Amino acid sequence: MRSAIGVAALFAVGLLGGGAAWAAGADAPAPASSQASASTDLKSEGPTQPAKVQDGQYSDKNGDPTYHIADGGKKVDWYTMSGYLRYNANCIVCHGPDGMGSTYAPSLVDALKGMDYAHFAGIVVGGKKDVNASQELVMPAFGENRNVMCYMPDIYTYLRARSDGALGRNRPPEHEPKPAAFEKAEDACMK
């Protein structure tokens, strides 16, 4: 029997970039003088607005991953861009273009309103089955799929931006550069 537990437990909260921070509790103070950790506190102006950025990954006051969109909606952080690509590779077939939903699966633009990261990750890892629907609706479990598990914060970040109305439909025109920490964590996760 193959076990999903190992991968699921390892990756449920995301390993990329500042991923360790989600697991460890996001408010572990970062040494201000350290160049290497590149963590900066920001003034958060709302529940989904960034309170911190570390290695190009933004997080809100609760330590959940969040988006950073500048230049009047045109330029997105790297994780939003990556999430857009991963969404289109793994989720679009059921949830429709730009998270808008389909006749089979619900709109994630609506579903993400107020859904925290842990809840989201739990559904994506373990799946979900609507037993009451006349048509049987099944959200597959992605716990063993590295193409999803290694990019969990990215997909959440992208959908959060869509859900908040901060990001329009289609591919974001510009994005921040890929952080070196992202590339390193990606290599380690996909191995």
Q: State the minimum distance, in angstroms, from the CB of residue 24 to ligand HEC.
A: 24
Q: How far apart are CA 86 and CA 153, in angstroms?
A: 11
Exactly one of 81, 109, 121, 148 binds ligand HEC (CB under 6 A); that residue is: 148
Stretch that binds ligand HEC, among 18-26, 29-37, 67-75, 137-145 (CB under 6 A): 137-145
Q: Among residues 159, 16, 136, 191, which one has the least CA distance to residue 84?
A: 159
Q: State the minimum distance, in angstroms, from the CB of residue 100 to ligand HEC.
A: 13
Number of other CB atoms surrounding residue 23 within 10 Å:
13
Exactly one of 59, 80, 82, 90 binds ligand HEC (CB under 6 A); that residue is: 90
The answer to the question of residue 141 lying near ligand HEC (CB under 6 A) is no
Q: State the minimum distance, in angstroms, from the CB of residue 99 to ligand HEC.
A: 9
Q: Which helix (H) or strand (E) holds 54?
A: strand 52-54
Q: State the minimum distance, in angstroms, from the CB of residue 187 to ligand HEC.
A: 21
What's the angle, vertex CA 25, arms to CA 86 and CA 8, rounded to 5?
Answer: 45
* Bridge partners, residue 175, by sequence: 76
Give the burial class of 126: count Cβ atoms within 10 A of its Cβ; 0-12 exposed, 13-18 middle, 19 or more buried: middle
The total number of residues written for the chain in this structure: 191
Strands (E) located in 111-178: 128-130, 137-139, 174-175
Exactly one of 74, 129, 146, 184 binds ligand HEC (CB under 6 A); that residue is: 129
Q: Residue 106 contacts by C-beta under 8 Å, 6 or more apart in sequence? A: 95
Compose the 47-76 pattern: x for residues touching ligand HEC by CB under 6 A, - for all others. ------------------------------
Exactly one of 74, 104, 168, 173 binds ligand HEC (CB under 6 A); that residue is: 104
The answer to the question of residue 13 lying near ligand HEC (CB under 6 A) is no
Site for ligand HEC, rule CB under 6 A: 90-91, 93-95, 104-106, 108, 111, 120, 123-124, 128-130, 137-140, 142, 148, 155
